């Protein structure tokens, strides 16, 4: 996990609950090392092969049972380290395909999985020329970024040229920040998929998907930017459609060759059926995993750890009732000066907590450039409708002073 991971505390708590010694690998030696006496490795995430060799060398001295990525940044490194150790994990090739949005589209197309028209352009190409060879509306996106960063819809050539320049700048900035050097930089362009969107959380064993839950996204995600806000589970879509969502996710898993570990997928429910938006070889991001509890209060992170070390998780079912999270959007660029209404929001029935994740005084950047939220609101109720209503009410009570 990187030191910026939202998931550090949840995974370390899960390890302690299971009595498993966890060794943290991150890009620098942080306070995580002091909080985790079992061990720490400083790893270069931009060079996964070299970092994996360090994990293998550590394994010779201190044998490991599993290697896991807490979130997106560590996915390729974890797979690259697990493979030479003979540990069950998604194959490196499958993880790389899932992490590269263009490669994922190619693999799914070749496997006969329906999806949008797509093509990629180098960031150095003339956007006006590119605008003349795509159909509209379309969506432009970087190949490797997550959290809807750099994802922009264009409805005509003029909007395309503006969006292309913006996405290209985000791609270049990201490559420089990751110290990737002169790696090729591209923009993926896909035809826009209309319809509602859902998120799928699952666990794969031997290539077979076990559906953990389907999240509804009640807010429309039609652009021009695609910042996600509400996740509510269980889904309110009809059972036949939910079965179709699970079936399509299994097709994507099989096509990519994902075989062992968690997955998080995004699906569009359009007029032509269930179409995959993307799939990630890791669990749900941010603090959103807190919406999932299984028998005995087991967290998602504990379920993932149990699965990784070979313990049976087949009998752990999601708790009854509904849960949801509102990822608090950033309304404009600036510096966060104050948060108002938190106590009032937390007093809303069914709201469990309001967690502000960006400290006062820090800069805030909205999409499509930003990759963080102001925070999270969590709610739990008897029905999805009650959960959604509580989250929306709490959000209306919050105010943010941004200078």
SS (HEC) of 186-242: EEEEEECCCCEEEEEEEEEECCEEEEEEEEECCCCCCCCECCCCEEEECCCCCHHHH
Same-domain check for residues 53 and 90: yes
Task: Identify the DSSP state of 316.
Answer: -
Band the pLDDT of 248: cuts 50, 70, 90: very high
Same-domain check for residues 68 and 137: no
Residue 201 near residue 283, CB atoms below 8 Å: yes
Same-domain check for residues 401 and 360: yes
Point out the domain boundary residue: 159, 191, 223.
Answer: 191
CA 152, CA 142: separation in Å to the nearest integer? Answer: 10
Same-domain check for residues 144 and 87: no
Mean pLDDT of the residues in the chain: 92
- For residue 179, give the CATH number of its domain: 3.30.1490.20
Same-domain check for residues 23 and 90: yes
Range of the domain at 355: 321-403
148 or 261, which is more confident?
261
Angle (CA) 110 78 62, round 5°: 150
Point out the domain boundary residue: 191, 209, 244.
Answer: 191
CA 325, CA 233: separation in Å to the nearest integer? Answer: 9
Same-domain check for residues 91 and 12: yes
User: Which whole number is the average pLDDT over 377-389?
Assistant: 98
The answer to whether residue 300 sits within a structural domain is no
User: Which whole number is the average pLDDT over 225-236?
Assistant: 93
The answer to whether residue 48 sits within a structural domain is yes
Pairing of strands 273-280, 375-381: unpaired
The answer to whether residue 248 sits within a structural domain is no
Point out the domain boundary residue: 65, 95, 125.
Answer: 95
**Helix, strand or coil for residue 67?**
coil
Residue 181's pLDDT is: 46
User: Which whole number is the average pLDDT over 309-334?
Assistant: 93
Same-domain check for residues 88 and 122: no
Q: Flag whether pLDDT at 182 surpasses 50.
A: no
Same-domain check for residues 24 and 91: yes
Q: Flag whether pLDDT at 33 surpasses 90.
A: no
Six-digit token string for 251: 């097709």
Q: Flag whether pLDDT at 383 surpasses 90.
A: yes
Same-domain check for residues 71 and 132: no
The answer to whether residue 214 sits within a structural domain is no
The answer to whether residue 85 sits within a structural domain is yes
Residue 288 near residue 304, CB atoms below 8 Å: no
The answer to whether residue 228 sits within a structural domain is no
Q: Flag whether pLDDT at 37 surpasses 60.
A: no
Cα torsion 159, 161, 165, 167: sign: positive
Same-domain check for residues 151 and 185: yes
Residue 186 near residue 125, CB atoms below 8 Å: no
- For residue 369, give the CATH number of its domain: 3.90.1170.50
The answer to whether residue 340 sits within a structural domain is yes
Pairing of strands 24-26, 40-42: parallel
pLDDT tens digit sequence for 130-177: 999 999 999 999 998 877 889 999 999 999 999 999 999 998 887 666
Same-domain check for residues 127 and 183: yes
Q: How many domains does the chain have?
A: 3
């Amino acid at each position: 996990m990187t030191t910026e991971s939202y998931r550090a505390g949840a995974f370390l708590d899960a390890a302690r609950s299971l009595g498993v010694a966890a060794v943290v690998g991150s890009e620098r030696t942080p306070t995580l090392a002091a909080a985790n006496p079992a061990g720490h490795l400083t790893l270069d995430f931009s060079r996964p092969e070299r970092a994996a060799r360090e994990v293998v060398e550590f394994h010779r001295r201190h044998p490991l049972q599993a290697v896991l990525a807490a979130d997106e940044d560590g996915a390729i490194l974890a797979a690259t380290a697990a493979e030479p150790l003979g540990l069950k994990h998604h194959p490196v090739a499958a993880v790389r395909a899932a992490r590269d949005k263009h490669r994922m589209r190619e693999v799914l197309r070749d496997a006969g999985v329906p999806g949008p028209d797509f093509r990629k352009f180098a960031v150095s190409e003339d956007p006006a020329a590119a605008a003349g060879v795509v159909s509209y509306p379309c969506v432009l996106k970087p190949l490797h970024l997550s959290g809807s960063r750099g994802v922009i819809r264009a409805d005509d050539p003029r909007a395309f040229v503006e969006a292309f320049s913006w996405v290209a700048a985000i791609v270049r900035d990201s490559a420089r920040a990751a110290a990737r050097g002169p790696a090729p930089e591209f923009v993926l362009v896909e035809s826009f998929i209309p319809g509602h969107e859902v998120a799928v959380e699952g666990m794969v064993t031997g290539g077979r998907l076990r559906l953990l839950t389907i999240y509804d996204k009640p807010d429309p995600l039609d652009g021009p930017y695609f910042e996600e806000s509400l996740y509510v589970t269980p889904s309110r879509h009809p059972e036949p459609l939910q079965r179709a969502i699970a079936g399509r996710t299994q097709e994507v898993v099989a096509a990519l060759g994902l075989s062992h570990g968690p997955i998080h997928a995004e699906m569009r429910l359009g007029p032509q059926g269930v179409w995959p938006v993307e799939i990630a070889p890791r669990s749900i991001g941010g603090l959103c995993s807190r919406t999932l509890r299984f028998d005995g209060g087991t967290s998602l992170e504990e379920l993932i750890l149990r699965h990784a070390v070979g313990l049976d998780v087949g009998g752990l079912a999601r708790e009854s009732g509904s849960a949801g999270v509102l990822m608090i959007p950033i309304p404009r660029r600036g510096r966060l000066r104050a948060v108002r209404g938190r106590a009032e929001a937390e007093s809303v029935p069914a709201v469990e907590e309001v967690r502000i994740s960006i400290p006062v005084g820090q800069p805030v950047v909205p999409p499509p450039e930003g990759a963080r939220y102001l925070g999270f609101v969590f709610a739990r109720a008897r029905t999805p409708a009650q959960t959604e209503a509580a989250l929306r009410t709490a959000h209306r009570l919050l105010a943010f002073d941004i200078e």
